[in-house]
Amino acid sequence: MQDYWIKISESEEDGIKYHHFLITAHDQTAARSFAMEFISRFIDDDEDPEAIENGYSFYNKAVFVRLVSIKETTREKFKEFLLKLHTIDLS
């Protein structure tokens, strides 16, 4: 099993947010399939999301959630990225 780093964008009127997740799967196709299933349930309140290219729209196209990228990685590289992302260096 291989680790895959997926990047998801969440777009609304007021801007865009990026989310990063780690998926372990047999291959990139399986990882993409799982990521799309995850995106379809990204917003729990909307029980009927609309499929769009590389993702889903929620709340009558008020929010768009898309798979931006998927690439092979290791758990260590993913942890390093998260640590850099969430660390404030005051030096």
Mean pLDDT of the chain: 94
**pLDDT at res. 89:** 79
Q: In 3D, which of 52, 88, 87 has the Cα closest to residue 42?
A: 52
Domain ranges in the chain are 2-85
pLDDT in tens, 22-59: 999 999 999 999 999 999 999 988 989 999 999 999 99
Instruction: Output the furthest CA–CA distance in the chain (Å, rounded).
Output: 48
CATH architecture, domain defined by 2-85: Roll (3.10)
